[in-house]
Amino acid sequence: MGNKPAGKTSSTELTAKHIALLKANTKYSEQEIRQWHAGFIHDCPNGKLDKKKFAEVYKQFYPAGKADNFCKYAFDTFDTNNDGTIDFEEFLLAISATSQGNLDDRLAVAFDMYDISGDGQIDKGELTKLITAMYDLVGEANRKGDNDPKKRAADIIGKIDVSGDKKLSKHEFIAGCKNDPVIRRMLAPNV
């Protein structure tokens, strides 16, 4: 009674199996994985990163902006098992995908964050929400004229929506960002 089930590991343990999985799915060495893990456990002693802590980390990078809205979308993208937390494996895979992957992979992660409904398409409403969140994040106050998030979303969709359905598929999003540096800076600034 009170024992952990056989085969279950603590959320703070880094097992050989975790290391093998992370080495196979990232470009990190075992030493780098262990260093990332040590930092993660230092910041999240229970082995779980919740939305509040996630937003705190983002706020360090964007002190002039409001990170909460943007963080909600980013967090949901990285919480792949939808348990309301990000464990070390999800964390390192997200870091790897957004920093080590090739351009298509990194843009695919950005697309997944924008596809709020999870239907494989980004519509004007979803794009408007993310543009608004990005403006909040960087402290952009000018939201009139061409900077209006609804207008900006409509313009971007109009420019890269090849199929004409007023939505962006993952392929259209990636191709549009690759072919238009202005759109890429707007929709995927860190890619």
pLDDT at residue 7, rounded to an integer? 42
pLDDT at residue 10, rounded to an integer? 59
Task: DSSP for 65-117, please give it.
Answer: S--HHHHHHHHHHH-TT-SSSEEHHHHHHHHHHHHTS-HHHHHHHHHHHH-TT
Mean pLDDT confidence for 96-114: 83
Written as six digits, the tokens of 55 are: 């937003």
Which residue segments constitute the domains of the chain, with CATH numbers given?
A: 16-64+81-100 (1.10.238.10), 103-191 (1.10.238.10)
pLDDT at 6 over 50: no
pLDDT at residue 66, rounded to an integer? 83
pLDDT at residue 19, rounded to an integer? 93
Report the distance separating Cα 63 and Cα 78, nearest Å. Answer: 22
Question: CA gyration radius for the chain?
Answer: 18
The model's pTM is: 0.74
Confidence of residue 93 (pLDDT cuts 50, 70, 90): confident
pLDDT at 64 over 80: no
> Of 5-9, 44-48, 158-162, where does mean pLDDT reach its minimum?
5-9
Give strand ranges (E) for 26-177: 48-49, 86-87, 121-122, 168-169
Mean pLDDT over each residue of the chain, to the nearest integer? 86
pLDDT greater at residue 100 or residue 170: 170
Mean pLDDT confidence for 117-128: 94
